[in-house]
């Protein structure tokens, strides 16, 4: 058996282990009987000094608004949730995840997913209880990067890749992105037009029965934006401007 064959065999064994572990994790993630363990892994994605300083001051408290929203919204679906997500902050990672494919080609996405899982397994520097959802937070200095790439969340892998701004002023906007992608890992689907960001009616609209329908005052979490009109929508600046619609609640296991 040559070295190449040994490497392939070991990789397949690792992937088999990850696959079994993922299946069991998927079964437990949305029962909401206990806190879901979410670990956030900060990464200095642009290597800038400002981004490094921002990451150094990160604390678990930066993400408290996520649980506040889940607790308040859960009551609307008869869910009495106490700390729905147990969010922990891992030490800073120095390795970047594999780049998300620019196309939707099935084989490219599949190969990227395999590489991402393997990278995630090799670069897990968190020493606390095992994460049920891994949220990689790639931070960028907003003075250098005015726009960011499209974040993504994988249900089967329970991995979220989040492109975020290294800015205290945008901390709460970052939390909107984090929760959106975490919900993807729990089975929630996008409810907006990928070509223009306009939320779909009715599932992507916060108040679909409002008369007149526009302008909306809040965003549905998976709709992503506040619908101002049929052709205009704006990004919510915090989770105070976000609700969890019934379709999304069903997808994440709040409605049976």
Domain boundaries, the chain: 3-187, 189-256
Question: What is the mean predicted confidence (pLDDT) over 1-28?
Answer: 67
Of the listed ranges 21-30, 97-106, 191-200, 206-215, the least confidently predicted one is 21-30
Enumerate residues 6+ apart whose C-beta is below 8 A from 131: 37, 38, 39, 88, 124, 158
CB-based burial label for 227 (10 Å; 0-12, 13-18, 19+)? buried
pLDDT (tens digit per residue) in 26-78: 656 778 989 999 999 999 999 999 999 999 999 999 999 999 999 999 999 99
Q: Is the pLDDT of residue 24 over 70?
A: no
Q: Is the pLDDT of residue 6 over 80?
A: no
pLDDT (tens digit per residue) in 184-198: 999 999 999 998 999
Q: Is the pLDDT of residue 95 over 90?
A: yes
Average pLDDT value for the chain: 91
Q: Which of 177, 131, 124 is nearest to 151 (CA)?
A: 177
Q: Which pLDDT score, from 0 to 100, does residue 86 have?
A: 96
Q: Which pLDDT score, from 0 to 100, does residue 152 have?
A: 95
pLDDT band at 106 (very low <50, low <70, confident <90, very high): confident
Question: What is the mean predicted confidence (pLDDT) over 214-232?
Answer: 97
Structure tokens at 72: 């308040």
Q: Which pLDDT score, from 0 to 100, does residue 132 have?
A: 95
Q: Is the pLDDT of residue 4 over 70?
A: no
User: What percent of the chain has pLDDT above 90?
Assistant: 78
Question: What is the mean predicted confidence (pLDDT) over 168-191?
Answer: 97
Distance separating alpha carbons of residues 25 and 46, to the nearest angstrom: 32
Q: Is the pLDDT of residue 177 over 90?
A: yes
Query: Residue 171: helix, strand or coil by DSSP?
Result: helix
226 bridge partner residues: 234
């Amino acid at each position: 058996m040559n070295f190449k064959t040994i490497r392939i065999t070991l990789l397949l064994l690792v992937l088999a282990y990850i696959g079994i572990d993922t299946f069991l994790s998927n079964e437990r993630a949305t029962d909401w009987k206990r806190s879901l363990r979410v670990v956030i892994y900060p990464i200095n994605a642009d290597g800038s000094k400002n981004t490094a300083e921002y990451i150094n001051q990160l604390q678990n408290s930066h993400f408290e608004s996520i649980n506040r929203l889940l607790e308040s919204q859960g009551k609307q679906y008869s869910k009495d949730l106490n700390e729905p997500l147990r969010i922990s902050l891992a030490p800073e990672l120095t390795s970047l995840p594999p780049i998300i494919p620019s196309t939707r080609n099935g084989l490219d996405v599949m190969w990227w997913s395999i590489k991402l899982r393997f990278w995630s397994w090799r670069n897990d520097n968190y020493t606390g209880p095992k994460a049920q959802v891994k949220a990689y937070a790639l931070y960028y200095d907003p003075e250098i990067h005015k726009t960011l790439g499209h974040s993504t969340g994988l249900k089967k892998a329970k991995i979220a890749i989040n492109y975020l701004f290294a800015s205290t002023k945008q901390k709460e906007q970052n939390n909107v992105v984090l929760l959106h992608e975490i919900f993807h890992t729990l089975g929630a689907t996008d409810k907006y037009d990928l070509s223009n960001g306009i939320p779909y009616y009715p599932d992507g609209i916060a108040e679909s029965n409002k008369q007149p329908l526009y302008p909306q005052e809040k965003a549905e979490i998976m709709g992503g934006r506040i619908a101002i009109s049929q052709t205009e929508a704006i990004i919510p600046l915090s989770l105070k401007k976000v609700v969890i619609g019934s379709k999304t609640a069903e997808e994440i296991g709040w409605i049976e």
